[in-house]
Structure 1
Amino acid sequence: MKLDPFYLIVDSAAWIGRLAPLGVKLVQLRIKDMGEDRLRAEIRKAKALCDEHQSQLIVNDHWRLAIEEGCDFVHLGQEDLQTADLLAIRAAGMRLGLSTHDHAELETAITAMPDYIALGPIYPTILKKMKWAPQGLERIREWKHRVAPIPLVAIGGLNPDRLDGVFAADADSAAVVTDITLNADPEGRTREWIEKTERWR
């Protein structure tokens, strides 16, 4: 499969409603602490918005709800992968993305035969505390050599100025969270990302 080079990650359907109309074609809904009823409503709304704007929705972690709501793509971290029912995910026709941070996690991810593998953090990130040091561009090259032809997503500390290096190192897609959601002008920053990644589509 081919991933869009611009991979937006947000924590609410409201963000998708704001940014998908600008031309975002790949977006992950990443919600960590929320009751099941509210979470289901968020996933349902996010799916409707993505369907409306021809955008691919990826649901982070909550694979059971994603299946029940008819979503077709889920992203799992390594801890979630240990407890997830991959057979049920595949039986539902869902595609799967997996996070990796070190060589052991990469081996685990490859064994699961996902539809993409994510590597991070490439640069220092403020999204969450990480026990891993920034991976750097050389690690992207190493990972891509190992995982090809599986698409590789780079994540962590990315901004438009760093994209040339990320794609030159053979990443297929660049994921972004805070560079857009904490920006004073999220819509303007989103347009900048879309313009900057256009050449890799």
Structure 2
Amino acid sequence: MHLDPFYPIVPDTDWLARLLPQGVKFVQLRIKEKPLDTVRAEIEKAIRLCADHACQLVINDYWREAIDAGAGFVHLGQADLAGADLAAIRAAGIKIGISTHSEGELEAALAAAPDYVALGPIYATALKKMPWAPQGLPRLAEWRAQLSCPLVAIGGITLDRAPIVLAAGADTVAVITDIVTSQDPELRARNWIAVTNPWRSLSTDYPQA
């Protein structure tokens, strides 16, 4: 499996409608604190939008709703992983990405045979207060050596830092703050695509989990 090296994470489908026309090919819908009816409607709309733009959509956390809507990929944090019905997710043909922040969490993630593993925060992040210290680039190399699936780097990654992170072992960089706080998110997304483009041809094509 191959993942695009630029992986924006957005809170709703309004953001998808803005970013997908810029050439985004791998994106996560990360909905927080919304009624389930809204979540379901957003997931269904996101699936349609991403299909229209040939973009791989990842649904954060809401694996039951992802199954119902026919989504193709979910992302699970460690708490969600513990309560998720992995057999049901796999039976629906859905790929799984999993967050990790420590060796213990990596062990738990690998036991689930993930389609990608995310490591973070690589750098300090202003998005939310994190209980983990920044992982740093050496930890990326450590994780890369232990994985046979793509590695996603997340946390404090800026346009300038992206090439360094990719060169350190990440297959793709997940980006939230740098996009959603930009004065011109569409232009910023195009800049990200341009900066990460050299890694598109270099990325490893991993076997399916």
What TM-score range do you get, normalising by the shorter chain? over 0.9
Paired position in structure 1 for 2:207: none
**Corresponding pairs, count:** 200
Cα distance in structure 1, aligned partners of 2:149 and 2:128: 26
Match of 2:203 in 1: none
Q: Which runs of 4+ in 1 moved over 4 A?
A: none
Cα distance in 1 for partners of 2:126, 2:27 equals 20
CA distance in 2, matches of 1:18, 1:106: 34
Tell me how far 1:170 sits from its aligned partner: 1.2
- State how far apart, in whole Å, the 1-side matches of 2:82 and 2:197 are: 36
CA RMSD for the aligned pairs? 0.6
Q: How far does residue 160 in structure 1 lie from its aligned partner after superposition?
A: 1.1
The alignment status of 1:145 with 2:145, answered yes or no, reads yes
1:18 aligned onto 2:10? no
Equivalent-residue separation in structure 2 for 1:153 and 1:48 (angstroms):
25
Whole-angstrom distance in 2 between the partners of 1:178 and 1:168: 21
Give the aligned partner of residue 156 of structure 2: 157
Residue 191 of structure 1 aligns to which amino acid in structure 2? Answer: R
**Match runs of 1:27-46 below 5 Å:** 27-46=27-46
How far does the alpha carbon of each residue in 1:19-50 deviate from its partner, in whole angstroms, 9 at most, with x for none?
Answer: 00110000000012011111111111111110
CA distance in 2, matches of 1:169, 1:79: 28
Matches within 5 A, 1:181-200: 181-200=180-199
Measure the CA separation in 2 of the matches of 1:150 and 1:193: 23
- Structure 1: unaligned runs, 5 residues or longer: none
Instruction: Give the equivalent residue in structure 1 for 2:106.
Output: 106
Shift of 1:126: 1.3
Q: Percent identity?
A: 59
Mapped to 2, the partners of 1:45 and 1:121 lie a distance apart of: 30
Using the TM superposition, give the Cα deviation of residue 168 of structure 1 relative to its aligned residue in structure 2, in angstroms. 1.1
Return the alpha-carbon distance in structure 2 between the equivalents of residues 41 and 128 of structure 1.
26
